[in-house]
């Protein structure tokens, strides 16, 4: 019985340590959850008391005391069952107390289903398709207090600006670019892909050595959307002869898109070629191929990416592969799944062994 007495002492010590911490939260303390916490501690103490009573009854029935191992196994099994009940009941209470969606929001639940990531050609102020509209209404409902910037990923919506008042997810390059001109400037909005295509063919370019140079040039340019301001990356040599103005450059068609890849069919009609400028965040992990041959990616407007295309038809592919991060991410995912299954199997295996070791169990091994 000495082992049995340790459990109430430990639980009471835990209660007296945690209770002051909860009270220190002051006026924001949720009284309901505080009493639920006390009730859960009381339930554990009650389980221990009932287990002690069960041990005494078994002694009377068997006319002999249980061994210390048997008593310990019985207590462990009771506490495991109590823990399982505690977890399930807590989840039920949390679900019951969570605000529910109003009836008029139920149709929006269809946006929860898995959906292929579509390519959004332009950044718009409001969601364009039905799924985006439903997902945004569902995520920004008052019953969902956790709505934040990740909402746009869930809705698969690329907006002008966030409605949550935070811009900390913008890359440093985008922040620099926005600081160069008034945000209502038409040329700037075209470069950013605001209500205009994010993929553009630009025949004229200015090549600079660093972002400071680019920032100074962009600040004083009149029609920045007609001239790509490009920064050399990692010493890559950019094609010459691309800085002369030309007429109509051609047309583009996206054939494949996901979070880590974009494939574009380009038909360049400009006689000397053109730059394909993609208003998507520049990162060293991006790689580009044109007709199967790897080509350097230039940083466009301090924030985006661009590749040079010769006249005629080209198949351009952007892929994101950042060193060892790509294979390591798969390894972590596979290892995590395998470890979870092993941990779950070990838990149920230990639980089965504990149950089998109880007195009077027909499955008990000798």
d(C-alpha 198, C-alpha 178), whole Å: 16
* The two three-digit tokens of residue 363, written as one number: 């499955």
Do the domain assignments include residue 195? yes
Count of the separate structural domains present in the chain? 4
Do the domain assignments include residue 15? yes
The span from the first CA to the last CA of the chain, in angstroms, equals 24
Do the domain assignments include residue 130? yes
* The two three-digit tokens of residue 30, written as one number: 């949720």
Confidence (pLDDT) at 235: 61
Backbone angles phi, psi at 257, to 5 degrees: -155, 135
Confidence (pLDDT) at 362: 54
**Based on the domain organization, do 327 and 315 belong to the same domain?**
no
d(C-alpha 304, C-alpha 243), whole Å: 18
What distances in angstroms separate CA 365 from CA 63, 70, 262, 359, one per listed residue?
22, 13, 61, 11
**Based on the domain organization, do 329 and 345 belong to the same domain?**
yes
Do the domain assignments include residue 83? yes
**Based on the domain organization, do 222 and 300 belong to the same domain?**
yes
**Based on the domain organization, do 309 and 358 belong to the same domain?**
no
Q: Which of the listed residues 38, 72, 98 is the one where a domain comes to its end?
A: 98
**Based on the domain organization, do 43 and 73 belong to the same domain?**
yes
**Based on the domain organization, do 7 and 91 belong to the same domain?**
yes
Q: Which of the listed residues 98, 121, 138 is the one where a domain comes to its end?
A: 98
Cβ partners under 8 Å of residue 73, min gap 6: 354, 357, 358
Do the domain assignments include residue 159? yes
Order the strands of the 298-300 sheet from edge to edge. Answer: 199-202, 274-278, 304-309, 298-300, 227-231, 204-208
**Based on the domain organization, do 222 and 276 belong to the same domain?**
yes
Long-range contacts of residues 242-247, Cβ cutoff 8 Å, at least 24 apart: 242/203, 242/204, 242/205, 242/272, 242/273, 242/274, 242/275, 242/308, 243/204, 243/205, 243/206, 243/207, 244/203, 244/204, 244/272, 245/203, 245/204, 246/203, 246/204, 246/270, 246/271, 246/272, 246/274, 247/203
d(C-alpha 307, C-alpha 298), whole Å: 6
Mapping DSSP to helix (H, G, I), strand (E, B) and coil, where does residue 114 land? coil
Residue 148: domain span: 108-167
Confidence (pLDDT) at 194: 92
**Based on the domain organization, do 264 and 162 belong to the same domain?**
no
**Based on the domain organization, do 56 and 27 belong to the same domain?**
yes
**Based on the domain organization, do 218 and 281 belong to the same domain?**
yes
**261, 278 in Cβ contact below 8 A?**
no
* The two three-digit tokens of residue 177, written as one number: 């670019």
Q: Which of the listed residues 98, 131, 157 is the one where a domain comes to its end?
A: 98
* The two three-digit tokens of residue 262, written as one number: 């974009």
Neighbour tally for 305: CB within 10 Å: 22
Cβ partners under 8 Å of residue 364, min gap 6: 356, 357, 358
Consecutive 10-residue runs of the chain (366 residues): their mean pLDDT?
47 48 46 68 77 78 73 76 78 77 80 88 90 86 62 87 70 89 90 94 90 91 89 68 64 94 95 92 93 94 94 95 77 90 88 68 51
Backbone angles phi, psi at 98, to 5 degrees: -70, 140
Please state the pTM of the whole predicted model. Answer: 0.67
**201, 275 in Cβ contact below 8 A?**
yes
**Based on the domain organization, do 201 and 341 belong to the same domain?**
no
Largest CA distance in the chain: 103
Cβ partners under 8 Å of residue 345, min gap 6: none
Do the domain assignments include residue 273? yes
Confidence (pLDDT) at 23: 46
Do the domain assignments include residue 103? no
Q: How big, in percent rounded to 5, are the helix, strand and coil portions of the chain? A: 45, 20, 35
Beta strands, E only, the chain: 199-202, 204-208, 227-231, 250-258, 261-268, 274-278, 286-290, 293-295, 298-300, 304-309, 312-320
**Based on the domain organization, do 157 and 281 belong to the same domain?**
no
């Amino acid at each position: 019985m000495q082992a049995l007495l340790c459990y109430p002492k430990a639980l009471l010590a835990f209660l007296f340590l945690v209770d002051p911490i909860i009270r220190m939260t002051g006026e924001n303390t949720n009284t309901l959850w505080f009493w639920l916490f006390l009730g859960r501690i009381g339930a554990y103490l009650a389980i221990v008391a009932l287990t002690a009573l069960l041990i005494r009854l078994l002694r009377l029935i068997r006319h002999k005391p249980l061994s210390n191992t048997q008593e310990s196994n019985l207590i462990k099994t009771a506490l495991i069952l109590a823990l399982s009940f505690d977890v399930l009941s807590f989840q039920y209470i949390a679900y019951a107390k969570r605000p529910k969606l109003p009836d008029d929001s139920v149709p929006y639940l269809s946006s929860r289903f898995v959906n292929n990531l579509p390519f959004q050609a332009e950044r718009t102020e409001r969601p364009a398709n039905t799924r985006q509209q439903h997902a945004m209404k569902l995520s920004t409902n008052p019953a969902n207090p956790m709505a934040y910037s990740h909402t746009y990923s869930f809705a698969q919506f690329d907006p002008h600006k966030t409605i949550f008042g935070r811009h900390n997810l913008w890359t440093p390059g985008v922040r620099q670019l926005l600081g160069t001109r008034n945000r209502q400037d038409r040329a700037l909005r075209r470069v950013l892909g605001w209500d205009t295509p994010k993929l553009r063919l630009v025949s004229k370019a200015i090549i600079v050595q660093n972002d400071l140079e680019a920032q100074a040039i962009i600040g004083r340019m009149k029609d920045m959307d007609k001239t790509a301001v490009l920064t050399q990356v990692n010493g890559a040599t950019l094609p010459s002869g691309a800085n002369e103005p030309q007429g109509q450059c051609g047309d583009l068609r996206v054939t494949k898109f996901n979070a880590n890849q974009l494939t574009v069919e380009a038909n360049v009609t400009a006689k000397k070629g053109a730059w394909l400028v993609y208003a998507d965040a520049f990162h060293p992990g991006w790689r580009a191929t044109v007709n199967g041959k790897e080509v350097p990616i230039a940083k466009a407007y301090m924030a985006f990416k661009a590749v040079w295309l010769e006249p005629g038809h080209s198949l351009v592919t952007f892929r994101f592969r950042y060193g060892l991060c790509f294979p390591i991410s798969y390894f972590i995912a596979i290892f995590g799944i395998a470890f979870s299954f092993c941990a779950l199997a070990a838990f149920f295996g230990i639980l089965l062994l504990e149950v089998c070791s109880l007195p009077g169990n027909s499955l008990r091994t000798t």
